[in-house]
Amino acid sequence: MALRNAVGRTAQRLGLGPVARAGLRAARGAREGYTESRRWNAYRRHLERPLDFERLRGTPSNDALPVVMCLWKRPQRIADIVKQLGEQHGGRRIRLILWNNLAANGDHYRRAVQALDLGAIDSIELFNAPVNVGGVGRFLAMRRVVDTGYEGPFVMLDDDEDITPAFLDDLLAAYAPRSIAGWWAFSYVETYYQRAALSQGDAATYVGTGGAVCDSTLVRSDVFFRALPRRYLFLEDMWMSTFAAWNGWRLIKVETPIEFVLRDVDQHHAIFDLKTVFSEHLLHTTPLTDPVLQARPGAADEPADRMTP
């Protein structure tokens, strides 16, 4: 919406008539359609083929806590990110997995991490995505980790966030199986921007993927990956929250100090209006459930309701 209006205003300033303005809108729509198709096809390829992570430092282990971070246009942030994660309290070992959505920065990350003190980080892995698929890459990465035998929570962090040494302690204190707990959490009834602030421990209807801990059972669900609507590929946070809630998972607000940095290159700006559209779409969508997500410890034989997508 915002981009469409901007195109119209630009055409008017150039003195173009209605026909020319319509041509500009059609050309923009064609470009957007091509980009959407390219991203969707890349996403589907990732679903069909096992991912190969590059080992940049250390030896990955399923005994370490996976922390998955999506990287975009902030390569200068890698040193701060590693430092802040390396200084985490609690004594737990960390497996840092970097999903890089801007392939041109791959060599920078490879070089940069070699000189860094890892602290609590056991290992660092990189996936250099040839096509930007957005934040859903974090779930694709964890799908690969789970396929190698990992069970338990995983943490999500964005490269535009500064955290304190208590970050992991705060998240894991709120974690339980079949839950998603996070800092950027709200409650809303109809649309994403009609949201209410929450306090520590409150039930949420939405948890953002930046600064959150999630039960890795989520990525065992084929329904979760394959029912994500193509148009809303970059709104994986809303899809995660809604799909989890449909399956009876708890969404929880966590209070932990986080500050945003370098937000001028955030991909959110391009999908601002789409969040309202998607929240309205989800409101009128028949809930999808998957027995994989509804299973409870010690209750594997219990029947689970399912609505086929």
- b/e map 276-291, b = 16+ CB within 10 Å: ebbbebbeeeeebbbe
Burial of 293 (0-12, 13-18, 19+ CB in 10 A): buried
Looking at the chain, the whole-number percentage of residues with pLDDT higher than 70 is 83
CA–CA separation, 123 and 59 (whole Å): 5
Alpha-helical (H) ranges within the chain are 2-13, 18-48, 78-86, 106-112, 137-147, 167-174, 222-226, 236-246, 272-283, 291-294
pLDDT in tens, 148-198: 999 999 999 999 999 999 999 999 999 999 999 999 999 999 999 999 999
pLDDT in tens, 17-62: 665 545 445 445 556 778 999 999 999 999 999 999 999 999 999 9
Residue the block writes with tokens 């974690």: 175
Q: Is the dihedral of CA 169, 174, 175, 176 positive or negative?
A: positive
For the chain, the structural domain boundaries read 2-41, 50-294
CA–CA separation, 163 and 256 (whole Å): 8
Mean pLDDT of the 271-293 span: 94
**pTM of the predicted structure, to 2 decimals:** 0.85
Q: Which of 22-36, 197-211, 276-290 has the lowest mean pLDDT?
A: 22-36
Q: What's the residue count for the chain? A: 309
Q: What are phi and psi of 281, to 5 degrees?
A: -60, -45
CA–CA separation, 229 and 290 (whole Å): 17
Nearest Cα residue to 27 out of 58, 46, 3: 3
Amino acid 304: pLDDT = 34
Q: Per residue, what are the HEC states of 251-274?
A: EEECCCCEEECCHHHCHHHHHHHH
Mean pLDDT of the 117-144 span: 97
pLDDT in tens, 65-82: 999 999 999 999 999 999
Tokens of 149: 């035998």
CA–CA separation, 267 and 101 (whole Å): 11
CA–CA separation, 142 and 136 (whole Å): 10
Q: What is the DSSP letter of 183?
A: S
Fold of the domain spanning 50-294 = Spore Coat Polysaccharide Biosynthesis Protein SpsA; Chain A (3.90.550)
User: How would you classify the pairing of strands 153-158 and 179-182?
Assistant: unpaired
CA–CA separation, 7 and 120 (whole Å): 49
